[in-house]
Amino acid sequence: MAIKKTTKTIDKIGRVSSASVQKGTGRNWDQWIAILEKAGARSWSHRETVELLTKRYKLTPWWQQGVALGFEYHAGKKIEGQNEKGEYSVSVTKSIPMARPKLWKWLISDEGQGLWLRPLAPITVEKGAEYESFGVDGGIFGKIRTIKAPERIRLSWQEADWSKPTVVQVHLVARPKESCMLVFAHEGMREARLKETMRGYWRSRADEIAKAIAKSALKGR
C-alpha cells in the first residue's frame, strides 16, 4: 500500500517522537493520525484500533500498541499512562548497539538477568518459570507468562501486600546496523506514585544494561 505524504506537524506524542514512529513503522505521527481519523477510530475501542493496525498495516506487536495509544492520547480518549480501569503504565526505551538475537541471548543469561530481573537466584527463562526479585525494595515475586524469542517476554510482577499482580513486558525491536531498541513496559499499576517509581527503576535497569554492553564491547576490541 502506497504511503501518502503529509506535512509533518506533530513532533511527539507522549514520549514517542515522530522520528521514532517513522523509523519503526514507515509513517510519522501525522500520517498515522490521518489514517486512523479517516478510518473512524475515535469511536473504536483500543482492541479495534490494534486489530486494524495488525491486519491491514502489519505492524509488530510493540508498534500496534504504540500507534494505537498515541492516537488515543492525541484524540483525548486516554490520559497518558492511565487506562480505562484507572490503572497506570510506563514504558522505558533504550537503543542498544547489539543485534536482537545476540541481545536476547545476553538478557536471558545469568549476567543479563542480574541487571534487569534482579532475581534472588538465576532462573531458566521459559514460560511458567517463577522467580523472586530484589525489585526496588525487595519482596517481588512473579511468573513468566509469555515468551517469544527473540522478541518479547511477558511476566507478572507483584509485591506481597499487593492485591493483584502488575505486568512487565520486555520487548526487543530490531533496528538496522546490528542494533535494536530495548523496551520495558510496566502495566497495571494502581497508583500514580508507583508509576513514577517504576519509571525510574526501569530507566536505571536500561541504563545499566547499556553500560554493561558498552563495557563488554570495549573489552572485545
Residue labelled with grid coordinates 506481597? 160
pTM, full prediction? 0.67
Q: What is the mean pLDDT of residues 174-183?
A: 90
In a shared domain, residues 17 and 111: no
Q: Give the count of domains, the chain.
A: 2
Cα 53 from Cα 66, distance rounded (Å): 10
Residue 6 domain-assigned (yes or no): no
Residue 21: which domain range? Answer: 12-74
User: In the listed set 74, 104, 123, which residue is the last one of a domain according to the structure?
Assistant: 74
In a shared domain, residues 99 and 63: no
pLDDT of residue 91: 86
Residue 82 domain-assigned (yes or no): no
pLDDT tens for each residue of 68-91: 989 988 887 766 656 556 688 888
Cα 20 from Cα 28, distance rounded (Å): 8
19: its cell numbers:
522520528
